[in-house]
């Protein structure tokens, strides 16, 4: 089994695991971890595309994509964690809040 | 390439960069000057959208390779007629939303961090423009994520538990969709080595794994566009957000992923292949129309009803897809007309609903009696937007409906015509119900303390959508520069 | 066709068309204007603005409909008139009026949707919107059968045929008097114009449809009167009478469908004559039922009684009235439809329907006289409008309809024809007298009959269904405070399930595409 194929298969596996976690888990932090897992799987698939052709130099494009993707995933994780923290604070602080539904 | 000046391609880049820069500047300026900088940026964005539309109308499709780097390493932006029309939609809705937010933040407004609305809103606008103009599928992923977290932050901005819950649910749905899309992009690149939107059809032709990737990309976009059954995040998100945010989300954001989905679909299934896919999407669209209308009717809150109405209207956009194959030009025009009129009408409805909720203190239907008299402008905007929802002439959605019925009859797919006409009837039910509760006589005259707000921004928006038929010639001219015919 | 084209933009076109549309337009204009004068004059000054907000668009739509030159403007005007009229029906604001408006609106929206479907299919073949020639377009298409079903359903709702008879009395009873007169005189006529434009009147091949239309018309004619005899208020009786009279228009059109070559023109003449007659007479009656007999001198009351009796006699088809001309035209249409069982049945039943109408009219006049002392005197302007409308109705016998039906012209003073018009009226009087002597009285019935019962039953069913679903979703305190839904989607389908469904969908789309190549 060649390296690119291995990477791709592992990537697919991680995507499935991550998707499962994202769907099934209810706690926001667990969901965030699962999303990151899914992202990592996608990046592995992209990385495997860099060596897909048996050429001398690896293809730089997937590397660029993965780098961009990592940055985006980091930003998403930050937003998710901040929201989760805010939500936890809201349910501890004001138990009767939530009346403004307009 | 465009003839009137080699400047036209640069407009595409500016359409993305200018709102982004304005957002950054307004964040840097802090509470005092944020709104002023943002309004300037909004005005510039509107002007840019008009300029792009003009150059596409006069010179045909425009394209730009950013920094002159060659794809796939470089990013390519392209504007054809349909993108230009959606840019114009974003501009019109964006202008109304900005004006409404400016009116709502007069001295005396109570939410402390309101000024952060401006940078977030401009980032959202910039990302939406990016999605309309991108010709590179990975760049589309980036724009999708950008839209995702700007929108999520905006939804959460009210700070209440309901808003935070809605924002979290929206975030995870958005992430699921974007990740699915990314996996799809990975597969496509793995199989074909290209990221260009217009090269996709030949890339997909030979390779099964590329087609699987395309399917995943489509699925991710379906989730972002909230097509049934992937709409579960939309009602709470759109109904718990501040009204200007809901207007932007329902009016524009939902259409941005749709545009990309249509282009992908055309690339993947031109020339007779893939009827199963189109029919599946259309069937889901039909269910969306019925389900969304039923849930809208069952809602007890005005904003929730409007959000479910968006679910139904998204169904329309998908139900016409099987017809694209044979009658691309007509159906393309119908798509443009429907998206534009619905986008504007929905935004107007949310802005008006915000005004009404301010007057009544809540948006529950049983508390709205008599508000129609207090806020006649809002009630009128709702009524005019209702004209578009029902598909009455001279609104653009009437024209779209007519074109779809003609095409569906001509190509023998009757059920599409039946669904489309039936949907208008269902829309009549919930629109009339909303208007009736607004115009009912209040049982007792309560002393209301209305907050200083008016729905002046909603009214022109609703009026334009209700008379969009007048702009028909201009729209078809722009659509002439589009090709949705696939291979 | 002389086309003075207004607003060529927006795909909307209006034109002063041929004589038929001009007649329709002139009649509609007369009714809307005179009834409008009455309506505004008898309304309190504070409410006039609100009345104008509903009345004027309805009038504009009603008149524009008659002048439409293409299907789009016809539909737009039709919609405008129908929806604005809902506001007139709900005028009183009490629960009864609102219920009537709800029923009216629901039925109207359905009828309009059906009509829109018909227009789209009809215009779709050639992508041309123009009204003249539209019916030939679709009549030869393979979908002609479907179009006929849709069109028939739409027309039946609009004109109050058979089971929909209640829709007309619901409108007349609840709108203010002037508006009710306008609705009576002009609104249902839009349906007649739609019939003329859209039904395949000159095209062979629709004989069985023609027989069906004649049957529908006859049953509406009798059912309308039967329900009217059970009605409680004078205006409801007039509404049911309109439903029954519209049935006669169906009969005329049915005759044209049965024998397109021979009966086409006489049927057209019959419908036009009928429109003019009925519009003027019925609206005069509505105004009269409101304006007559209130606290005036004996001479005044006698004058009012005569003025009320004139249009009533016209409806029965008494000689020298516009009704006489219309019925003659109808007879000639049936006569030229050739020998067939249904046509013969219609011809023999026609005088019976006149008797029935006579019974209803007598009952109406008596009811008006009973309720007269309780009326308020309408202002002078309103009274003048009523007189003018009655005068027009009387004059119509001598003027317009003349030119349409040569048969009518020839037989206007023919003794045989005069007798066949007189005896139904006499029979009606005799029957009423006999019923009085035998102390027969009709039980009162809720106006709107089937429709009201259907509406109530429907509401109960929806409430039951919502209750069943609500029980399943078991809203918790949190749900109630945050979202306050009766049907809570998240309870029905938890988020995890929804996301899981999405993943399945993603797989499905991928598979569909993978196999597509």
Domain of A40, CATH number, reads: 1.10.287.3510
Say yes or no: C69 and C192 in one domain.
Answer: yes
Least confident interval from A59-63, C124-128, C500-504: C124-128
How many helices (H) and strands (E) chain B has is answered by: 19, 2
A1 touches chain C (CB under 8 A): no
Q: Is B77 helix (H, G, I), strand (E, B) or coil?
A: strand
Whether C499 and B212 lie within 8 Å, measured CB to CB:
no
Q: Is A97 among the domain residues? A: no
Contacts 24+ apart (CB under 8 A), C366-373: C367/C233, C367/C234, C367/C237, C368/C234, C368/C288, C368/C289, C368/C292, C368/C293, C368/C308, C369/C293, C369/C305, C371/C234, C372/C292, C372/C293, C372/C294, C372/C301, C373/C293, C373/C294, C373/C295
C117 touches chain B (CB under 8 A): yes
| Helix/strand/coil (H/E/C) assignment for every residue in C39-100 | HHHCCCHHHHHHHHHHHHHHHHHHHHHHHECEHHHHHHHHHHHHHHHHHHHCCCCCHHHHHH
Within the 10-49 window of chain A, which residues sit less than 8 Å (CB to CB) from chain B?
11, 15, 18-19, 22-23, 28, 31, 35, 38-39, 41-43, 45-46, 48-49
> From CA C180, how far away is CA C55, in angstroms rounded?
11
Residue of C nearest to A24 (CA): C496
> From CA C65, how far away is CA C34, in angstroms rounded?
18
Whether B145 and A76 lie within 8 Å, measured CB to CB:
yes
* Residue range(s) defining the domain that contains residue C511: 490-517
Of residues B487 and C114, more confidence is placed in C114
Model confidence over B428-471: pLDDT tens digits?
888 988 888 888 777 666 655 556 667 788 888 888 888 887 78
| Helix/strand/coil (H/E/C) assignment for every residue in C425-456 | HHHHHHHHHHHHHCCCCCCCCCCCHHHHHHHH
pLDDT of C517 above 70: no
Identify the pLDDT of residue B310. 94
> From CA B291, how far away is CA B304, in angstroms rounded?
14
Q: Is C2 among the domain residues? A: no
> From CA B376, how far away is CA B242, in angstroms rounded?
21
Q: Is A98 among the domain residues? A: no
> From CA C454, how far away is CA B436, in angstroms rounded?
21
Q: Is A101 among the domain residues? A: no
Q: Is A67 among the domain residues? A: yes
Of residues B366 and A72, more confidence is placed in A72
Cβ-based neighbour number of residue B439 at 10 Å: 17
> From CA C267, how far away is CA C299, in angstroms rounded?
42
Whether A98 and C482 lie within 8 Å, measured CB to CB:
yes
Say yes or no: C499 and C422 in one domain.
Answer: no
Model confidence over B109-146: pLDDT tens digits?
544 567 888 999 999 999 999 999 998 899 999 999 99
Mean pLDDT calculated for residue range A80-95: 81
> From CA B328, how far away is CA B480, in angstroms rounded?
11
> From CA C323, how far away is CA C320, in angstroms rounded?
8
Whether C499 and A22 lie within 8 Å, measured CB to CB:
yes
Q: Is B246 among the domain residues? A: no
Mean pLDDT calculated for residue range B192-219: 83
C-alpha to C-alpha distances, C435 to C363, C428, C441, nearest whole angstrom: 11, 11, 8
Q: Is C351 among the domain residues? A: no
Mean pLDDT calculated for residue range B407-430: 87
Residue of B nearest to A38 (CA): B179
> From CA B277, how far away is CA B36, in angstroms rounded?
47
> From CA B170, how far away is CA B234, in angstroms rounded?
7
Q: Is B397 among the domain residues? A: yes
Distance from CA of C485 to the nearest CA of A (A): 12
Of residues C9 and C505, more confidence is placed in C505
Q: Select the residue from C488, C496, C506 to test the A interface by mutation, using most A Cβ atoms within 10 A.
A: C496
Q: B260, B1, B2: which is closest to B136 by C-alpha?
A: B260
pLDDT of C53 above 60: yes
Across chain C, mean pLDDT equals 79
Identify the pLDDT of residue C295. 60
Chains touching chain C, criterion 3+ CB pairs below 8 Å: A, B
Model confidence over B305-319: pLDDT tens digits?
999 999 999 999 999
Identify the pLDDT of residue C481. 41
Q: Is A52 among the domain residues? A: yes
Identify the pLDDT of residue C206. 83
Identify the pLDDT of residue C1. 32
CA B449 to chain centre: 34
* Residue range(s) defining the domain that contains residue B361: 273-482
Distance from CA of A91 to the nearest CA of C (A): 12
Q: Is B436 helix (H, G, I), strand (E, B) or coil?
A: helix
Q: What is the pTM of this model?
A: 0.67
Non-local CB neighbours of B332 within 8 Å, separated by 6+ positions: B82, B324, B479, B482, B484
Model confidence over C421-443: pLDDT tens digits?
788 888 888 888 887 777 666 66
Whether B193 and A65 lie within 8 Å, measured CB to CB:
no
Identify the pLDDT of residue B173. 93
Model confidence over A16-70: pLDDT tens digits?
999 999 988 888 999 999 999 999 999 999 988 887 556 667 788 888 899 999 9
Number of domains in chain C: 2
Q: Is C309 among the domain residues? A: yes
Identify the pLDDT of residue A90. 82
pLDDT of C321 above 80: no
Confirm if C130 and C97 have CB atoms less than 8 A apart.
no
Within the 24-83 window of chain A, which residues sit less than 8 Å (CB to CB) from chain C?
24, 26
pLDDT of A97 above 60: no
C-alpha to C-alpha distances, B209 to A61, B65, B73, B186, B353, nearest whole angstrom: 19, 28, 22, 10, 47
Identify the pLDDT of residue B170. 94
Residues recorded for chain C: 517
Geometric angle at alpha carbon B414, from B272 and B288, rounded to 5°? 85
- Pair type for strands B62-65 and B76-79: antiparallel
pLDDT band at C2 (very low <50, low <70, confident <90, very high): very low
Distance from CA of B311 to the nearest CA of C (A): 13
Whether A90 and B148 lie within 8 Å, measured CB to CB:
no
Q: Is C214 among the domain residues? A: no
For A54, the token pair is 């048996």
Q: B415, B387, B420, B386: which is closest to B403 by C-alpha?
A: B420
- β-pair partners for C130: C70
Number of domains in chain A: 1
Q: Is B10 among the domain residues? A: no
Q: Is A29 among the domain residues? A: yes
> From CA C181, how far away is CA C239, in angstroms rounded?
10
Cβ-based neighbour number of residue C464 at 10 Å: 10
Q: Is the peptide bond before B355 cis (omega within 30 degrees of 0)?
A: no
Whether C109 and B428 lie within 8 Å, measured CB to CB:
yes
Q: Is the peptide bond before B394 cis (omega within 30 degrees of 0)?
A: yes
> From CA B230, how far away is CA B179, in angstroms rounded?
15
Q: Is C183 among the domain residues? A: yes
Q: C275, C272, C194, C290: which is closest to C234 by C-alpha?
A: C290
Number of domains in chain B: 1
| Helix/strand/coil (H/E/C) assignment for every residue in B319-330 | HCHHHHCCCHHH
Q: Is C459 among the domain residues? A: no
Residue of B nearest to C480 (CA): B300
Model confidence over C328-382: pLDDT tens digits?
888 888 888 878 888 888 888 888 888 888 888 888 888 887 776 556 667 778 7
Of residues C247 and C71, more confidence is placed in C247
Q: Is C430 among the domain residues? A: yes
Contacts of C128 in chain B (CB under 8 A): none
> From CA C236, how far away is CA C118, in angstroms rounded?
31
> From CA C123, how far away is CA C331, in angstroms rounded?
34
Identify the pLDDT of residue B209. 83
> From CA B141, how far away is CA A72, in angstroms rounded?
10
Burial of C34 (0-12, 13-18, 19+ CB in 10 A): buried
Identify the pLDDT of residue C6. 36
Mean pLDDT calculated for residue range B16-36: 88
Chains touching chain A, criterion 3+ CB pairs below 8 Å: B, C
Model confidence over B234-253: pLDDT tens digits?
998 998 899 999 999 999 99
Q: Is B136 among the domain residues? A: no
What distance, in Å, lies between the first and last C-alpha atoms of chain B?
21
* Residue range(s) defining the domain that contains residue A36: 3-91
Least confident interval from C17-21, C144-148, C447-451: C447-451
Q: Is C216 among the domain residues? A: no
CA C164 to chain centre: 10
pLDDT of C464 above 80: no
Whether B222 and C120 lie within 8 Å, measured CB to CB:
no
pLDDT band at C445 (very low <50, low <70, confident <90, very high): low
Confirm if C327 and C317 have CB atoms less than 8 A apart.
yes
Q: Is A15 among the domain residues? A: yes
Of residues B481 and A96, more confidence is placed in B481
Confirm if C289 and C234 have CB atoms less than 8 A apart.
yes
Identify the pLDDT of residue B247. 93
Identify the pLDDT of residue A37. 95
Cβ-based neighbour number of residue B398 at 10 Å: 26
Confirm if C356 and C12 have CB atoms less than 8 A apart.
no
ipTM over 0.95: no
Residues recorded for chain B: 487
pLDDT band at C487 (very low <50, low <70, confident <90, very high): very low
Say yes or no: C177 and C293 in one domain.
Answer: yes
Q: Is B98 among the domain residues? A: no
C-alpha to C-alpha distances, B183 to A11, A16, C163, nearest whole angstrom: 9, 11, 59
Percent of chain C at pLDDT > 90 equals 7
């Amino acid at each position: 089994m060649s390296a690119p194929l291995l990477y791709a298969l592992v990537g697919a596996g991680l995507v499935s695991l991550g998707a499962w976690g994202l769907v099934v888990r209810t706690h926001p932090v667990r969901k965030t971890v699962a999303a990151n897992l899914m992202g990592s799987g996608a990046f592995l698939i992209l990385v495997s595309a860099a060596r897909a052709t048996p050429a001398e130099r690896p293809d730089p494009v997937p590397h660029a994509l993965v780098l961009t993707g990592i940055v985006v995933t980091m930003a998403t994780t930050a937003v998710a964690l901040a929201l989760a923290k805010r939500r936890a604070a809201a349910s501890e602080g004001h138990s009767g809040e939530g009346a403004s539904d307009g | 390439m465009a003839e009137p000046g080699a400047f036209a391609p640069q407009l595409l880049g500016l359409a993305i960069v200018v709102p982004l820069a304005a957002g950054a500047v307004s964040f840097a300026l802090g509470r005092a000057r944020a709104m002023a900088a943002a309004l300037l940026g909004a005005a510039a964005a509107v002007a840019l959208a008009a300029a792009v539309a003009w150059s596409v109308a006069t010179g045909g499709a425009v394209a730009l390779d950013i920094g002159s780097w060659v794809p796939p390493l470089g990013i390519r932006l392209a504007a054809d007629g349909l993108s230009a029309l959606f840019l114009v939609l974003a501009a019109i809705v964006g202008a109304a939303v900005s004006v409404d937010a400016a009116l709502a933040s007069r001295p005396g407004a109570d939410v402390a961090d309101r000024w952060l609305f401006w940078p977030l809103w401009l980032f959202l606008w910039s990302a939406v423009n990016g999605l309309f103009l991108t010709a590179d599928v990975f760049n589309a992923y980036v724009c999708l994520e950008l839209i995702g977290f700007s929108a999520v932050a905006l939804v959460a901005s009210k700070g209440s538990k309901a808003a935070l819950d809605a924002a979290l649910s929206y975030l995870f749905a958005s992430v699921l969709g974007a990740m699915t899309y990314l996996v799809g992009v990975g597969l496509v690149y793995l199989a074909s080595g290209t990221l260009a939107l217009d090269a996709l059809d030949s890339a997909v032709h030979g390779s099964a794994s590329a087609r699987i990737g395309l399917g995943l990309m489509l699925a991710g976009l379906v989730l972002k566009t909230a097509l049934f059954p992937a709409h579960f995040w939309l009602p709470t998100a759109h109904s718990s957000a501040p009204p200007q945010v809901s207007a932007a989300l329902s009016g524009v954001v939902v259409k941005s992923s749709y545009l990309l989905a249509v282009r992908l679909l055309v690339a993947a299934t031109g020339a007779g292949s893939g009827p199963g896919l189109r029919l599946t999407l259309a069937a889901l669209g039909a269910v969306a129309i019925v389900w969304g209308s039923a849930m809208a009717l069952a809602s007890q809150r005005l904003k929730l009803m409007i959000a479910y109405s968006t679910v139904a209207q998204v169904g329309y956009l998908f139900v016409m897809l099987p017809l694209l194959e044979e009658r691309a030009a007509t159906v393309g025009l119908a798509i443009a007309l429907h998206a534009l009129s619905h986008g504007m009408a929905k935004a107007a409805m949310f802005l008006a609903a915000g005004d009404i909720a301010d007057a009544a203190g809540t948006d529950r239907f049983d508390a709205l009696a008599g508000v129609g008299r207090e806020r006649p402008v809002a009630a009128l905007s709702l009524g005019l937007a209702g004209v578009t929802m029902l598909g009455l002439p001279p609104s653009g959605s009437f024209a779209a409906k007519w074109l779809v019925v003609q095409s569906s009859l001509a190509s023998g797919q009757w059920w599409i015509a039946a669904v489309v006409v039936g949907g208008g009837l269902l829309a009549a039910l919930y629109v009339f119900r909303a208007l009736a509760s607004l115009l009912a006589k209040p049982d007792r005259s309560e002393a209301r303390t209305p907050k200083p707000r008016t729905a002046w921004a909603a009214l022109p928006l609703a009026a334009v959508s209700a008379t969009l038929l007048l702009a028909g010639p201009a729209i078809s001219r722009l659509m002439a520069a589009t090709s949705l015919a696939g291979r | 066709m002389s086309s003075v084209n207004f607003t060529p933009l927006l795909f909307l076109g209006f034109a002063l068309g041929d004589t038929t549309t001009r007649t329709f337009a002139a009649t509609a204009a007369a009714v809307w204007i005179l009834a409008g004068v009455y309506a505004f004059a008898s309304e309190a000054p504070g409410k006039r603005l609100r009345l104008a907000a509903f009345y004027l668009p309805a009038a504009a739509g009603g008149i524009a409909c008659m002048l439409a030159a293409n299907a789009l403007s016809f539909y737009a005007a039709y919609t405008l008139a129908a929806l604005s009229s809902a506001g007139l029906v709900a005028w009183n604001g009490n629960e009864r009026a609102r219920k009537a408006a709800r029923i009216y609106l629901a039925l109207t929206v359905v009828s309009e949707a059906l009509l829109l479907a018909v227009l789209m299919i009809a215009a779709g073949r050639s992508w041309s919107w123009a009204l003249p020639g539209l019916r030939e377009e679709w009549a030869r298409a393979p979908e002609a059968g479907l179009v006929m079903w849709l069109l028939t359903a739409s027309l039946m709702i609009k004109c109050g045929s058979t089971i929909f008879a209640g829709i007309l009395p619901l409108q007349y009873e609840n709108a203010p008097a002037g508006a009710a007169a306008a609705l009576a005189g002009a609104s249902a006529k839009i349906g007649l114009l739609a019939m003329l434009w859209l039904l395949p009147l000159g095209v062979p091949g629709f004989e069985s449809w023609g027989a069906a239309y004649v049957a529908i018309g006859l049953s509406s004619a009798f059912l309308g009167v039967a329900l009217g005899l059970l009605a409680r208020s004078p205006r409801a009786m007039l509404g049911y009478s309109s439903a029954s009279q519209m049935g006669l228009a169906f009969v005329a059109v049915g005759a044209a469908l049965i024998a397109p070559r021979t009966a086409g023109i006489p049927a057209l003449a019959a419908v036009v004559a009928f429109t003019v007659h009925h519009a003027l007479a019925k609206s005069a009656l509505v105004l009269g039922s409101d304006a007559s007999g209130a606290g005036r001198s004996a001479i005044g009351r006698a004058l009012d009684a005569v003025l009320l009796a004139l249009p009533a006699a016209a409806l029965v088809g008494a000689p020298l009235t516009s009704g006489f001309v219309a019925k003659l035209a109808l007879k000639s249409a049936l006569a030229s439809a050739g020998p067939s069982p249904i046509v013969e049945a219609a011809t023999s039943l026609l005088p019976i329907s006149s008797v029935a109408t006579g019974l209803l009219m007598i009952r109406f006049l008596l009811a008006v006289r009973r309720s007269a002392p309780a009326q308020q005197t309408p202002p002078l302007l309103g009274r003048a409008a009523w007189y003018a409308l009655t005068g027009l109705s009387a004059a119509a016998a001598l003027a317009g309809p003349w030119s349409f039906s040569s048969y009518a012209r020839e037989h206007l003073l023919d003794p045989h024809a005069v007798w066949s018009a007189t005896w139904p009226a006499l029979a009606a009087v005799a029957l009423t007298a006999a019923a009085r002597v035998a102390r027969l009285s009709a039980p009162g019935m809720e106006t709107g009959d089937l429709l009201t019962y259907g509406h109530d039953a429907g509401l109960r069913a929806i409430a039951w269904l919502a209750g069943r679903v609500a029980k399943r979703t078991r809203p918790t305190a949190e749900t109630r405070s945050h979202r306050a839904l009766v049907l809570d989607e998240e309870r029905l389908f938890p988020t995890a399930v929804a996301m899981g469904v999405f993943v399945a969908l993603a797989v499905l789309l991928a598979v569909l595409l993978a196999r597509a190549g």
